[in-house]
Amino acid sequence: MAKLVRLFFSLLAFGLLVALAAAGGATAVSPQTTAPASTFKPAAASQRSQTVPDSFELMAENANFQLFANQASLAFKVVDRRSGYIWHSNLDEKG
């Protein structure tokens, strides 16, 4: 069973990292609707401190992303190293 869980997370990690890396390079930009980079200021809500709980184990990483998983709940989190933003699977720990 442990090998099956490890295989599942390895395949999930590989798939997510490939998909995120592919999506990161394909961005559509419209000059009429995009503000210049020098005037961009993130919203205050995005400045909140985000952390990955200790119960999550680092499963895979590359230059842009880190994949963490909680093997007990099958929850996962993906950290964007460039911005610090954390995506999660909505299976977070219940306090």
In a domain, 81, yes or no: yes
Domain holding 76, by residue range, is: 1-20+47-95
Two tokens, residue 10: 């390895």
Q: Report how far residue 49's alpha carbon sits from residue 4's, in angstroms, rounded to the nearest whole number.
A: 34
Q: Mean pLDDT, to the nearest integer, of 62-83? A: 94
- What total number of domains does the chain contain? 1
pLDDT digits (tens, 9 = 90+) for 3-39: 777 877 877 777 777 676 666 655 555 556 555 556 6
Q: Report how far residue 30's alpha carbon sits from residue 6's, in angstroms, rounded to the nearest whole number.
A: 42
Q: To which H or E segment does residue 8 belong? A: helix 2-25
In a domain, 41, yes or no: no
Q: Mean pLDDT, to the nearest integer, of 43-59? A: 76
